[in-house]
Every structure is written in structure tokens, then in C-alpha cells.
Amino acid sequence: MTERAVIAGHLCLDLIPRLPSGPDGFRFRPGALVPAGRATVSTGGCVPNTGLALHRLGADVNLLGKVGDDPFGELVRGALAREGEHLARDLLRSPGAHTSYSIVLSPPREDRMILHYPGANDDFGPEDVPDAALRRAALFHFGYPPVMRRMYEDGGASLASLMSRARAAGLLTSLDMAYPDPVSPAGRADWPRILARALPHVDVFLPSLEETLLMLRSEAPSGRARPQDIRSLAERLLSLGPAVVGLKMGERGIYLSTAAEKRLAQAGPPLSRSPGAWAGRELWSGAFETKTTGTTGAGDAAVAGFLFGLLNEMPPEKALTAACAAGACSVEAPDATSGIRRWEEVELRIERGWRRRRPPVDASWREAAWPGLWAGPEDRCA
């Protein structure tokens, strides 16, 4: 049986209007009445996106996040309780604060744009994660510190403190990021310093490529990142302390790089139970082919798939496949999690020949350039 995972961090309410497709598509036109379809109202942020995806896959999860004492907060609590009464049990109500919300504009065949209000998330701190929750868990995952003010203020002292506590409790620790507005206070924070303080206490670090470029102040363009660029970024992140680094790249899949066996042995279980199988690995897992309805939360779902693989002691190749499969299921629905099914169903879909996108066909990406890179036979380039 899957061990318990604590998913903590950013939590909000997502308002997702259905936007028009067709030759004209969706365009902002000042002063105009822009037609839209019905709206999906769902929970959003790392806590519901990754947490509910893990729950739907079959994991035992505990959700920790903050909401305000307002109607949006009641909507969030109600939505989580409908998935399982225990999922809303440990949410914190912050008197006087407002619940965070996002208006997600996700036009067909285009990447999304998000209007976001952080609300109660800005006040989330280490004291909001009780010791009792950590004692009952095997894995602690924290998400979206760039959109949680206390987590990036003061050089990331609160983030480092929280991850250190979870690590000291013997848990496998995991961290995911978010992409802030580069000119906002969060975007201008000293992220190299913050990562240097936090990542020694993180076993699994799973940012997107774009987030990594921003955090490391790299000038490499994400859309044209070369294999050597991606490898260099992963090496820089590993040098800061994590045992496993996964770079999420949307339709291009996920790139994984891992530390030496000594560092893997220091991680929380299950990594420490089989450090040899994970040490010194470099893998690429291609995205699954699917019909995209919405991209909201796909990265969070991919993280959930990977963590589910870890909790079930899958080898790295299969854990990466689980990540890409969960991400693909997510984009088949307008919200982040309603497309996720139990792992048995997802696995059966894979076994029946669910096709995967090939990595870029440029010769520099082919297996001859990086022997053993591709995560499995179905990922290999011709």
C-alpha cells in the first residue's frame, strides 16, 4: 500500500472560463464584450493539484494549506471534502485574510495565462505544518514558494527551515516551484541564494525548465535550450544539494538527473532503500500523445505521478513514465485533476500501447549523442 504523503504550500480557487476557438480565436480587445463559454470552478495551486492527483492515483494524502474566512474559502473546503472528507480536515482558516484565487485564461491550442491573487498564501509559514502531520507521513512535498511571500522573504529562511524540519523527521522531501512575474518582488528575489539555503534539505526537486532558467538567472532561451544547456542546468541544481532533479518541459517531456549513491543513501526512503538503482542516472521521458483540453495543473499532475512512483518504489524509468502519464491525463480536462484516474487504469492504458511523443528530432537529441538517455524503448529516437 502507498505510504502517506503530506502535500503543503500554495492553495487557491481557480476560475477557468471556456474560451472560443476558431480562426479568430481568443483576443483581448479593450472596450469589447468578448464571448466566453461556461466557467469551470475548481481548486488550484500545488496543494489541490498535486494532492488530489496523488489521491486519485491511489495514494494516501494529507493536505496542508491556508484559506481565508470568506466565501471562496468555503468553496475550496467544499470542493476538497467532496473528493474525500479527510482532504479538507487540516486546512487552516486565516481570520481576516482572503482566500487566494486565480482566473485562468486557457485558449484552445495556446498556453494559459493566469491572473492571480496570493491572499492567505502570503502568510503561510513553517509553524503551519504541525509535527504530528510529519510523524504520520513518509513523504513531504512543498509547492510554489515563489508565490508565497514568507517563503521567499529573508533569503528563504522559512523555506529552508521547513524543509530541514521535514528532512530531520526522516521523510523523503520534495519541492516544486512556480513561475512568478519576473519584475515582481518574488521574481526579483535572490533565488540563487534561496535555493542554496533550501536545496540541501530537499531530496527531490521538480521545477519546470522556465522556472529553473529564472531561478538560476540563466540567459538560455527555454524554447531553444540545447541538450548541453539542460544538462548544465541540472548539474548546477544537483550541486546545491538535492538527490534527484527533474526538469519538466511540457510537450518535450521530463529530463531527470540524479546525484551519486552517497547522496541517494542520505535521502528519505524509498530512495535510501535502493540508492544504487537511482544513483548517477540521466533519463529523458517523452510526453504521451493526447487531446489537450486545458494545460492548467499539468506540471503538478506530473509531479504527483513521479511521487506516486517513488512511494510505490518504482524504478526511475517507470516513475518517469508515471509522471508523464499523469501529466497527459491532466490536460484531457479543463481543470488540473478531473482527468486523473487510478494508477491501475493509467497503467493499463500504457500497456495497451498509449503512444508517446518523440523528443526533438534534431540529431543532437538522439540517443547516439547521449547513450542510455531515453527512459525506455518507447522513448527512443529512430
Grouping H, G, I as helix, E, B as strand and the rest as coil, residue 134 is helix
C-alpha cell belonging to residue 230: 539542460
Dump pLDDT digits (tens) for 103-121: 988 776 666 778 899 999 9
CATH number at residue 236: 3.40.1190.20
31 belongs to a structural domain: no
26 belongs to a structural domain: no
For 155-178, give the DSSP string.
GGHHHHHHHHHHHHTT-EEEEE--
**Residue 278, C-beta contacts closer than 8 angstroms, at least 6 positions apart:** 243, 244, 258, 264, 271, 316
> Which residues partner with 249 through β-bridges?
none
- Over residues 145-165, mean pLDDT: 97
Alpha-carbon gap, residue 329 to 168, rounded angstroms: 34
The rounded mean pLDDT for the chain is: 89
What is the predicted pLDDT for the residue at 218? 78
Question: Based on the structure, what is the number of domains in the chain?
Answer: 1
Residue 369: pLDDT above 60? no
- Over residues 188-204, mean pLDDT: 97
> Which residues partner with 175 through β-bridges?
142, 205
CB atoms within 10 A of CB 315: 14
% residues pLDDT > 90 (the chain): 71
Q: Which of 117, 137, 13 is nearest to 65 (CA)?
A: 13
Residue 74: pLDDT above 80? yes
- Over residues 142-171, mean pLDDT: 97
- Over residues 297-303, mean pLDDT: 95
Grouping H, G, I as helix, E, B as strand and the rest as coil, residue 139 is strand
- Over residues 20-25, mean pLDDT: 62
Dump pLDDT digits (tens) for 317-326: 999 999 999 9
CB 120, CB 66: distance < 8 Å: yes
27 belongs to a structural domain: no
| Residue 373 banded pLDDT, cuts 50, 70, 90 | low
Q: Which domain holds residue 211?
A: 5-20+38-375
33 belongs to a structural domain: no
| Residue 67 banded pLDDT, cuts 50, 70, 90 | very high
What is the predicted pLDDT for the residue at 378? 44
**Residue 34, C-beta contacts closer than 8 angstroms, at least 6 positions apart:** 26, 27, 28
Q: Which ranges in the chain belong to alpha helices (H)?
A: 46-57, 71-83, 131-135, 149-152, 157-168, 191-198, 209-215, 227-239, 261-266, 275-278, 298-311, 316-330, 343-351
